[in-house]
Amino acid sequence: MDDPASLARRGAARFLIGPLALLCLAVPALASPCQTPQEKIEAERVAKKVEKAETTAHQAEEEREALRHFQENVAEYAELHAKQLAKLGARKTVATQAALAHAIAASRAKARPGDILRPEVQPLFRRLISEQLQGPDGLDARKALLEGNPGDDPSEPSVPVVVRVNAVYPPGAARSTVPPSVLLTLPPLPDCLHYRFVGRDLVLVDTLAQLIVDFLPAAAPDLGIE
């Protein structure tokens, strides 16, 4: 029969076996001197993949948050548009357009570039647009965007467009064709807003007031056709 001291020693051994086993399992995941060169290379490769996945996940979460804020800002503007239009009787005439533009500009007198297209969402917009316009596959889209672009089509001179928040888009100015691929990529807008390009700048324009609500400078890559 084992004496009390022997039982105590065996109990202590069993108590230590669990942590030691866990430590042995963890050791291969660490870059220890016991690893072979190939094991170290593989461990580093796995670590880089994990780091990249974590970075991608973090970036995706930031983009989702930025898009959510953009959609909130757009919805807030749509509410303002509807409120001001209701005051004017919702009649779509030239006089209504001018009055609506004046009323909205007055309500947003302190508006600045980036109030709707916030800085945190701007890299995402530029990336989405670039993906659709760059390279051989984007040639047709670039050509479509150049058609009627008041800032990038010298062959068809038109009324100049001043890209500024609360500026009225001139009635006689050319209007760019936003390629379907770009429209499908960018976040959808309410009926009162649409995307338009002036040169490389992406402009948010009120469809009825013809008012520039916000803009993103250099949103598109070089539009040169080669």
Per-domain boundaries in the chain = 46-216
pLDDT score, position 172: 85
| The dihedral sign for the CA sequence 204, 206, 210, 211 | negative
The three-state secondary structure class of 193 is strand
In DSSP terms, which residues pair with 168 in a beta bridge?
211
113, 131, 162 from 52: Cα distances, Å: 33, 21, 42
- Average the pLDDT over each of 21-25, 48-52, 90-94, 206-210 and give the range with the smallest value: 21-25
pLDDT tens-digit map of 119-130: 999 999 999 999
pLDDT tens-digit map of 5-33: 444 444 444 433 444 343 343 444 444 55
pLDDT over 70 (residue 184) = yes
* Separation between Cα atoms, residue 154 and residue 150, nearest integer Å: 8
What's the rounded mean pLDDT across residues 182-197?
94
15's tokens: 């108590």
pLDDT score, position 216: 97
What's the rounded mean pLDDT across residues 55-79?
87
34's tokens: 């016991």
pLDDT score, position 111: 96
Angle at 157 between CA 149 and CA 95, to 5 degrees: 75
% of the chain residues with pLDDT over 90: 50
